[in-house]
Structure 1
């Protein structure tokens, strides 16, 4: 979390947005939630999240 904050703070300028693109088959949702929280703490007013759903389990 501290590393992400250190990287994100200088980039969180007025009017800039952060985007998170995730593959939910490989990334636990709690990690995505933590990243959103860290980006908000860094100063981003808008954080967008896009995820590719895990593969279907249907046969």
Structure 2
């Protein structure tokens, strides 16, 4: 099963870390713990997006 984002982020827009985290959780819950290669690629993209969102939130808070 391949999971795609219902609302992909456009360049320059940042989704909150909580939103990205929810998508990561949904991805894992739909795969029964075994990611296809497409799901793994999406997971890696989401991890990068989540890290950027966390960094952005920390900078904004500082």
Q: Structure 2 length as normaliser, TM-score?
A: 0.39
Q: Which has the larger radius of gyration?
A: 1
Greater fraction of residues in strand: 1
Greater fraction of residues in helix: 2
Q: Structure 1 length as normaliser, TM-score?
A: 0.40
